[in-house]
Structure 1
Amino acid sequence: MPNNYFKFKQFTVYQDKCAMKVCTDACLFGAWAAAHSSQLKARSLLDIGAGTGLLSLMLAQKLPGIMIDAVEMDEAASQQAKENFEASPWRERLKVYNTSVQQFASAAQHKYDIIISNPPFYENNLKSNDAKRNLALHSAELKLEELIKISGDLLKDDGKLFILIPYNRTEQLSALIRDHLSIKEIVFVKQTPKHQFFRSMFLLGKEKSSAVTSEMIVMGGDGRYDGEFIKLLQDYYLLL
């Protein structure tokens, strides 16, 4: 049974009210996005599908002064994110909205320097009997096409969009992006050198550019975290 909380060096993520728990790939994605974003002069960030609020908290830690709006349509998950935000050192810079991103976008008053999303994963796979887990895992409520379109509408001209998806949807997302945004970087992630890729981390923007691709592993052949993984997560994980 998963723990009710996941403790990081500077904050704790409680997850008892959320179907989707803290996981390694989400932590890696948050750290990677934070490392890139720390080089920007960003003042505003939007987290689409915030869940526990993990990504917002990771970015808040690395980006002093940035104001973060987190959108989460599941009521219990949004309440959990709110509680996690209020218990963090950055409570004054974090706000959660319990609504769909479609409704949020229709009422948005400004655009964002950074948008980050770990969207529903399994659009065409069989669903479980757990309604909340279905909402977290499947894209019945927000398809990739909508996510890209809405993100493009809410992103500043020089803004950056970070998306984490399953590796097997890389080509699909790449095709959807062409009419809206430009791919700046893709990182393919695998658990170990012997495993197949299982996640793709995208960095996108409106400005035209050539895509840079690279690979990353979570653990080396010796069963220890890879050096690049450690470099990204050492400011977050307690035991690094």
Structure 2
Amino acid sequence: MGNQHFSFKQFTVHQDRCAMKVCTDACIQGAYTAQYLQNTPHIHRILDIGTGTGLLSLMLAQKSPAIIDAVELDINAYEQAKGNFAESPWNDRLHIIQSDIQALEAPNKYDFIITNPPFYEQALKSSDHLRNQAMHATTLSYKALLTAIDHNLLPNGEFSVLLPYEPFKDFLALATTMGFTLHNRLDVQQSPKHSYFRTVGIFSRNTHPQPITNTLIIKDEQNQYSPTFINLLKDYYLYL
């Protein structure tokens, strides 16, 4: 991966103006969510909260015919995503909005929301303000994020979130108190010898007796991409 851009099979993500670059766990969330959406044909409008480079919107657009609105607070990331959208094959249905999600008043609510939010609510921060804003909940707490999702989601809508494995437990507890139910979960390991480090969760307001839980190991004992990872990302990564 070059530092300035990341090339996928059907699109390129330029990232020189963004604090957070393309990373494997975000690609996993995009591919896992896009796979899920292919089995939910009623999805017509999607909202991407905190789009950054626009990666998740682009990954969903490759698989879903939905109209996708992306919201980004940082002006540099907004301009970057705007350019990435314009150069993509789906530029007619990818839209970018420069706004704080807490101030957004969209004319219509959404069937589906995806977000890769600031990860850490209480953790040491770096001296890089933009990276702190992207990595830490300096401008958007979990409660504020869930409130924004609740405000913008249709009654039968769903949302996808990516978080570190341990903080996901706190997010899940808070989401439950706010009327959301987890129904699909993907726990991710770097390799068989590593512990889980990321979780993708798909939530709705509908009750589910037990969430469907899957696991994904990125690399096997030989440090090669696992068959499950290859199957998930093969439509995106150039060399899979």
Q: Specify the alignment match of 1:137 in structure 2.
A: 135
Q: Specify the alignment match of 1:97 in structure 2.
A: 97
SS of residue in 1 equivalent to 2:198:
strand
- Identify unmatched segments of 5+ residues in structure 2: none
CA distance in 2 between partners of 1:76 and 1:170 (Å): 28
Q: Specify the alignment match of 1:113 in structure 2.
A: 111
Going from structure 1 to structure 2, the CA distance change for 1:238 and 1:2 (only over 3 Å counts) comes to closer
Give the TM-score taking structure 1 as reference length: 0.96
Residues 66-103 of structure 1: CA distance to partner in whole angstroms, max 9, x if unpaired?
Answer: 10000000000000000000000000101111110001
Q: Specify the alignment match of 1:50 in structure 2.
A: 51
Deviation >6 Å, runs of 4+: none
CA contact (8 A) 2:120 2:167 kept: no
What value does the CA root-mean-square deviation take over the aligned residues? Answer: 1.1
CA distance in 2 between partners of 1:214 and 1:237 (Å): 22
Superposition deviation, residue 32 in structure 1:
0.2
- Identify unmatched segments of 5+ residues in structure 1: none
- Answering whether residue 122 of structure 2 is matched by residue 124 of structure 1, we say yes
CA distance in 2 between partners of 1:6 and 1:112 (Å): 29
Q: Specify the alignment match of 1:28 in structure 2.
A: 28
Q: Specify the alignment match of 2:62 in structure 1.
A: 61
Aligned length in residues: 237
- Answering whether residue 73 of structure 2 is matched by residue 73 of structure 1, we say yes
Give the percent of matched residue pairs that are identical in Structure 1 and Structure 2: 45
CA distance in 2 between partners of 1:150 and 1:38 (Å): 25
Letter of the 2:159 partner, please give it. Answer: L
Letter of the 1:135 partner, please give it. Answer: Q
Give the TM-score taking structure 2 as reference length: 0.96
The worse-fitting range, judged by mean Cα deviation, of 128-137 and 144-153 is 144-153
SS of residue in 1 equivalent to 2:119:
coil
SS of residue in 1 equivalent to 2:182:
strand
